[in-house]
Amino acid sequence: MIHLTPWDLVIASSMIILLAITSLLLQLNIARQLTIAAIRNVIQLLLIGYILKLIFNTSNLFLLASIATIMLLVAGYEINARQKYPLKRWVGFKIGTSALFLSSFSMVLLTLMVIVAPTPWYSPQYAIPLLGMLLGNTMNGISLGMDKLNQSVYQQRAIIEQRLMLGQTYQEAIKEIRTESIRTGMIPIINSMAIAGLVSLPGMMTGQILSGTPPVEAVKYQILIFFLIASGTGFGIMLAVWMIAKRMFDERQRLDLAILKIK
């Protein structure tokens, strides 16, 4: 495998800087977010690189659990960032984190204990990359689904109230919105499964091939990951949408948007 020098990364970063300058000139309002994200990216990845190097040499369940917890909490927080009509901070964090935990962790446990089954099952070389991919993708899906749900309910609140007035239950009154939100959250993963191999070579598979794994072995892993991500995302969104929708109505099934942080 060809090793990258710091200089190689500097060249790549000049492209990001070019993009930031262009977007500034065009007043696209993304220069700031782009720059921050790029800098965070470098720091976080370097940090995790060194941490991984350290813990790969020790198979310590406690250490692994702590890292997994940190990953979960950060993802749970990030779900609610960048939403148009975000949930109030604490509720949003609670719902996001529990949906992530139930969906991603169960998928990872299934993989570690039954499917890949390394020895020991909590071997960090498998556990951390798997958990990372699952959490990252599930987080994206849940975040998109939540954004759609909150926005639709807020904008269609008069319609929802009308349906309640006609004697519909709250589940009936938001049925279409709920379906649409789950669909929105699932689009990215369904798209990437559908085009994988034809249009795009998925990231993990590319990485394995670059580092010398035989292509068919890499493909098998990629299929496994796709299935895990799709199921994790799907169940995660359903959980989150179900939990939020329930809390948007009070005990007498009145629409109550106190759960939203409306600016």
Partner 1 sequence: MGMTGPSGIGKSILLKALADILPHQGEIFLGEIESQMIPAPQWRRKVALLPAESQWWCDTVGEHFKIFDETLFGQLGFEQKVMGWQISHLSSGEKQRLACIRLLINQPEALLLDEPTANLDKDNQANLESLISDYQKKYQIPVIWISHDKAQLERVCQQLLVLNKENYKLRPLTGAQL
Which C-beta is closer to partner 1: that of 252 or that of 263?
Answer: 252
- Nearer CB in complex with partner 1: 164/228: 164
Find all residues with CB under 8 Å of 149, minimum gap 6, and list them: 177, 178, 181, 241, 244, 245
State in angstroms the smallest separation of the CB of 258 from partner 1. 11
Closest approach, Cβ 101 to partner 1, in A, equals 32
User: In a 3-state reduction of DSSP, which class is residue 9?
Assistant: helix
CA distance 259 to 263: 13
- Rama region for 171: left / alpha / beta (φ>0; ψ in -120 to 50; rest): alpha
CB of 155 to partner 1, least distance (A): 12
Would you tell me which residues interact with partner 1 (CB under 8 A)? 156, 158-159, 161-169, 176, 250, 252-254
* Residue among 10 and 158 whose Cβ is closer to partner 1: 158
When the beta carbons of 174 and 241 are compared against partner 1, the nearer one is 174
CB of 170 vs partner 1, minimal distance in Å: 8
Helix (H, G, I), strand (E, B) or coil at 223: helix
Spatial distance between the Cα atoms of 79 and 72, rounded to a whole number of angstroms? 11
Please say which residue, 8 or 256, places its beta carbon nearer to partner 1: 256
Phi, psi (rounded to 5 degrees) for 236: -60, -45
CB 34 to partner 1: min, Å: 39
